[in-house]
């Protein structure tokens, strides 16, 4: 396996064992369509691997190291690419005067990271809340128990690929009823008032469109909200921290084209309106398409890779632990989308 093969898409998935920062430095620019990852959290678990992320002396050092890794992720992403990053918080175990942290303080790592990433050049586009239906029980009695984590959406540019319709949700019945309410703007007493709220005018136009769509028999959906509710996942004896497939699926579907990309320039095909049709947005002569390419610089148990493969994407996973990569490889063997002949020994592709 040669690193340059990544640029030629000569694989369905590849694993690289090594420090994420160093491996990413060997990968060409502008390769990946999207990246979905959950790095080791600060001062939470010791994976007993030399050079691991998360065991830094201070939160600042942790954030600096993670920003440096994500800087390489940004370089390897296409200009229309996105990064979806799941990050949890923790409590201060030892005072840190530089940050004003006292023992038992909630550190605020997610927003420390998000603001540092924005300062480093990323576009901070969304703070998605992962609400856990079955959060880890806590013995504490002097604060509410934690039941959510942050999932930040970053983009490399102000214009980027995002298939909102692929992750759209059924419109709520109450909104459909409200669209046919008699209390529309033209019927209100303050309709001629110059101080009438612009947002109300905009909302009324939305309801007018909704009524037309309903009357025409169109499938009525709404944009996906930024609170995602799922259960947690686990893989006993294989990995401490595993996020569930249903949490990752929207990231893959929205962040990369379902029908793939141009085989020449790798620009993703884009959906035509709210339909199942897609079209090329490049001027390349070829009509051939290739699957989009997804990255996870902290492969872990391989959830991002499995979801990518099961949804027609190619995948590159990086992890510092050869043991975790071997476990992920075994789980990939059972996926029809990849197939037995696509599995390589980790030792052959160590970087």
**Pair type for strands 148-155 and 123-132:** antiparallel
3-class SS of residue 229: strand
Cβ atoms of 4 and 351 closer than 8 Å: no
Return d(Cα 290, Cα 339) in angstroms, integer: 18
Q: Which two tokens stand for residue 268?
A: 């993703």
Phi/psi for 162 (5° steps) reads: -155, 110
Residues 301-327 pLDDT 10s: 999 999 999 999 999 999 998 888 888
Residues 166-217 pLDDT 10s: 999 988 887 777 777 655 555 555 555 655 544 456 667 777 788 888 888 7
Q: What is the pLDDT of residue 214?
A: 82
User: Which residues of the chain have a pLDDT value below 50?
Assistant: 1-2, 197-199, 237, 239, 339-351
Cβ atoms of 301 and 39 closer than 8 Å: no
Q: Which two tokens stand for residue 346?
A: 């980790």
DSSP code at position 250: H
| Domain boundaries for CATH 3.40.50.150 within the chain | 3-165+223-256+292-349
Superfamily of domain 3-165+223-256+292-349: Vaccinia Virus protein VP39 (3.40.50.150)
Return d(Cα 328, Cα 15) in angstroms, integer: 9
**For the chain, how far is it from start to end, CA to CA, in angstroms?**
10
């Amino acid at each position: 396996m040669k690193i340059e093969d990544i640029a030629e898409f000569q694989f369905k998935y590849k694993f690289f064992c090594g420090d994420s920062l160093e491996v990413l430095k060997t990968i060409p620019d502008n390769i990946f369509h999207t990246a979905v990852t959950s790095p080791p959290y600060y001062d939470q678990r010791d994976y007993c691997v030399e050079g691991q992320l998360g065991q830094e002396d201070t939160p600042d050092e942790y954030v600096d190291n993670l920003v440096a890794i994500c800087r390489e992720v940004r370089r390897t992403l296409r200009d229309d690419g996105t990064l979806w990053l799941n990050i949890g918080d923790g409590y201060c175990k030892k005072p840190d005067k530089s940050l004003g942290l006292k023992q038992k303080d909630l550190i605020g790592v997610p927003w420390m990271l998000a603001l540092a990433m924005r300062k480093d050049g990323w576009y901070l586009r969304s703070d998605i809340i992962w609400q856990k239906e079955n959060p880890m029980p806590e013995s504490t009695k002097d604060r509410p128990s934690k039941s959510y984590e942050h999932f930040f959406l970053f983009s490399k540019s102000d214009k980027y690929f995002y298939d909102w319709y692929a992750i759209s949700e059924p419109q709520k019945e109450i909104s459909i009823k409200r669209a046919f309410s008699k209390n529309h703007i033209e019927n209100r007493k303050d309709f001629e008032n110059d101080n009438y709220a612009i947002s109300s005018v905009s909302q009324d136009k939305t309801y007018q469109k909704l009524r037309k769509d309903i009357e025409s028999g169109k499938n009525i959906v709404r944009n996906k909200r930024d609170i995602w509710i799922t259960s947690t996942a686990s893989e006993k004896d294989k990995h401490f921290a595993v996020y569930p497939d249903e949490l990752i699926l929207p990231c893959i579907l929205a962040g990369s084209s379902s029908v793939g990309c141009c085989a020449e320039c790798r620009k993703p095909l884009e959906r035509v309106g709210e339909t199942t049709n897609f079209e090329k947005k490049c001027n390349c002569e070829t009509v051939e398409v290739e699957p989009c390419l997804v990255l996870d610089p902290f492969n872990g148990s391989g959830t991002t890779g499995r979801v990518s493969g099961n949804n027609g994407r190619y995948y590159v996973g990086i992890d510092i632990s050869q043991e975790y990569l071997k476990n992920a490889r075994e789980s990939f063997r059972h996926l029809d989308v990849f197939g037995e002949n696509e599995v390589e020994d980790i030792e052959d592709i160590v970087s």
